[in-house]
Amino acid sequence: MNAMSSPNLFYNDSIRCGSTNSGARTRHELEAHFSSDSSVPSHSDVYEQIDQLEAIDVEELGKLLADDGNETTTKPVTLADFFEGLAQLATMGVVEVTDIVEAIHREVILRPLGRFNDRHLNNWQRGITGRIYGTIRHIMLKVGNNLAAVLRLYKTVMSQKNAQPLPDSLKKLVNVINGVMGDHLVNHKNALAIPMVLYDKDGNPQCEALSGRVIILCHGLCMSHLSWQSTDGHGLGDAIDRSQPAATVLYLDYNTGRRISRSGRKLSQVLQELVDNSPNISQIDLVGHSMGGLVARSALFYGEQDHLDWVKRVGNLITLGSPHHGAMLERIGNHVQDIIAKLPFAGSLAKLGDMRSAGIIDLRHGSTRDADWKALEGRSVLPQDFRHPARLPSGIKTYFVASALVETHYDSKMTSLLGDGLVSVASALGEDDAEHALFVPEGHKAVFYGVSHVNLIHSRRVREQVVAWLLDNGRSDYVDKPRIYSYPKSLALSL
């Protein structure tokens, strides 16, 4: 794989796993190259100063990219974490932009000369221009790490007092950043990487022992546990709480930029710990919006695979607009990126697309298992036809909700593909892939017209249907009933 097609080009060369295009050099590598290159003496002063910098430990930095699935903390991000993470994030941005600029520079110089090949690309890295770009990366990493270290020291001092929590507005911003590049944050051990935490209805981390029925709401991409809130007090969680005062509603918060399967494994672990700490929990229900539904499915898959006790207590799984068979928008984005990568002089710009998180990439085909990506190089996923199925556990009542932007029922392929603007109706209902079809009874499916993807969690009609399913709790037999269709301005749901 050449340097221009490598999916890891977007990263700083000094922290790539297994990359052969090493741009940023350690002190010893620089010394070896400088001593053998006759062109160096004219720039010796520059390199002597570089040589005085502390060498980057490539082996240690390489470990940062080996996301082993373990989170470094279980505490929510604080205000001090926010500023520390921003300092490191700014440095990451400069380094990665430098990678893109160098890639374009290299292509513009070498391609017209017919030298855009492995041999000349390797010579580029050993030449003076390649070393200058490496110098920029080295210095920026040094400055950024020192700044982050100062802020980390400040955070340690402040933590001895009361750590100031993030305001809600900044909390939502942090979750957006995690959705866009959350796996990068974890790999770089950035303080902005949020852990998986269960919150109660008051917005506090769940720590009390629970009993009876527990209903957990799982948010979607770039959202947070605060996304379920409504200014008028009529959010989905509020409605469930009013309809079932004996039940406990919890809100999951997690890093949506990580692999969905990693989040699924982590959720399985969190739910087992919840049951271990609260053995009197009689039932667990999972309600997931968008990616949250896939994370819930992944957790069920791994929980059943590991024979964990919490799975036996799950009564209902409800997904709202979850791309069970992939999201069209991510597929289109990936296709456009592939086209740009093939254009002369513009191919390097396609590497901007590699900045998007692994969580977004998993949405391409709705991948919920490690096997869909672990054997691949780079940050891709297996094609749709080769992904591994994740069947629904038996004995759990499953309900799928889809929505469409159009307000009336048009039985057309275009309406189904358009769906809610992000996910097609067929994908949300688990129907458009015969091999990976999720066999949910027709009576357990509902399509809401005139509702966008985001508004699925705020729609009154959707809220009433979810509450009805949870109240019924599997007592009614929906197997022989038709799917539910709901339209705007309807006083009752159409069956």
DSSP string, 21-49: ---S--HHHHHHHHHH-TTSGGGHHHHHH
Q: Are 175 and 254 in contact (CB under 8 A)?
A: no
Largest CA distance in the chain: 83
Q: What is d(CA 59, CA 131) in angstroms, rounded to the nearest whole number?
A: 20
Residue 305: per-residue pLDDT: 94
3-state SS, residue 367: coil
3-state SS, residue 347: helix
Query: pTM for the complete prediction?
Result: 0.72
Mind listing the pLDDT tens digit for each residue in 30-68? 444 444 444 443 444 444 443 444 443 434 433 433 445
Mean pLDDT of the chain: 76
**What phi and psi, each to the nearest 5 degrees, are found at residue 211?**
-150, 165
Sheet holding 197-199, edge to edge: 197-199, 248-253, 211-218, 280-289, 314-320, 397-404, 445-449, 484-486
Of 275 and 146, the structure prediction assigns the larger pLDDT to 275
Residue 53: per-residue pLDDT: 40
Residue 490: per-residue pLDDT: 52
CA distances to 303, 353, 358 from 378, in Å: 27, 13, 10
Residue 164: per-residue pLDDT: 75
If you average pLDDT over each of 22-26, 68-72, 406-410, 463-467, which comes out highest? 463-467
Of 177 and 17, the structure prediction assigns the larger pLDDT to 177
Mind listing the pLDDT tens digit for each residue in 426-440? 999 998 767 777 889
Of 418 and 124, the structure prediction assigns the larger pLDDT to 418
Q: With a cut of 60, say whether residue 11 has pLDDT above it.
A: no
> Which run of H or E residues covers position 92?
helix 79-110
Of 94 and 453, the structure prediction assigns the larger pLDDT to 453
Q: What is d(CA 89, CA 71) in angstroms, rounded to the nearest whole number?
A: 18
Q: Are 400 and 386 in contact (CB under 8 A)?
A: no
Give the pairing type, strands 397-404 and 314-320. parallel
Lowest mean pLDDT among 87-96, 160-169, 483-492: 87-96
Residue 233: per-residue pLDDT: 80
Residue 435: per-residue pLDDT: 74
Q: What is d(CA 495, CA 483) in angstroms, rounded to the nearest whole number?
A: 7
Q: Are 421 and 450 in contact (CB under 8 A)?
A: no
